[in-house]
Amino acid sequence: MRNNYLTVKGFGESEIIIQKSRFLTYVERAETEEEAIHFINLIKQKHRDANHNCSAYIIGEHDNIQKANDDGEPSGTAGFPMLEVLKKQGLKDTVVVVTRYFGGIKLGGGGLIRAYGKATTEGIDAAKVVERKLHHLMKVSIDYTWLGKVENEVRSSEYLLKEIVYADSVEVFIYIQAENESNFVTWITEITNGQAKLQIVEKEFLEFEVN
């Protein structure tokens, strides 16, 4: 299972005009090929009157699903450069559609490649890139006498405090990056002189925006 990877935060759209042609870009996260195809079809329905609705997507832990469609543009001038942008930025589980309304001036093969590449980059910027990092949500059960020290240490550390539940003992819920679990166990054990009881509650991805 992958621990950290880049994808888009969510839906994004942008528009650029090159030689009087309008390039409308739509980007979305898609974790399955069915989701990608559904998104592409939605954009195609929205812009049925467009000259071209070109698309590309890359899906899977090992990028095992990669598709590109020129939708009537000369072969290799639209879908492929769009896919290359996704790959160059290291994105996973991402689909992009670039809709073109022809402005009457032919761009040529090189011009089209640059235009669709630029349009894709603009769309990704609008959607925003995030890094998804696998975290373990750890429940740390301690006696009340340890609460002040543990809370202060956690808040000043790299670990993320989710919540504190007050019961017979105190339950402190903390997010730890998966690869840092053993370091955390050693760290919290030293802080509490071995008095803490630890339990992994769940595993989930947290998202951090990439500038």
Tens-place pLDDT, residues 48-69: 999 999 999 999 999 999 999 9
pLDDT given at position 192: 95
**Spatial distance between the Cα atoms of 27 and 39, rounded to a whole number of angstroms:** 9
Which fold is adopted by the domain 131-209?
Alpha-Beta Plaits (3.30.70)
125: enclosing H helix or E strand = helix 108-127
Give me the residue spans of the domains in the chain: 4-127, 131-209
- Length of the chain equals 211
pLDDT given at position 1: 65
Residues of the chain with pLDDT under 50: none
154: enclosing H helix or E strand = helix 147-155
Encoded tokens for 111? 């011009």
Model-level pTM?
0.87
Identity at 72, one-letter amino acid code: G
Contact predicate 125/210, CB 8 Å: no
Question: What is the C-alpha end-to-end distance of the chain, expressed in Å?
Answer: 25
Q: What is the CATH number of domain 4-127?
A: 3.30.230.30
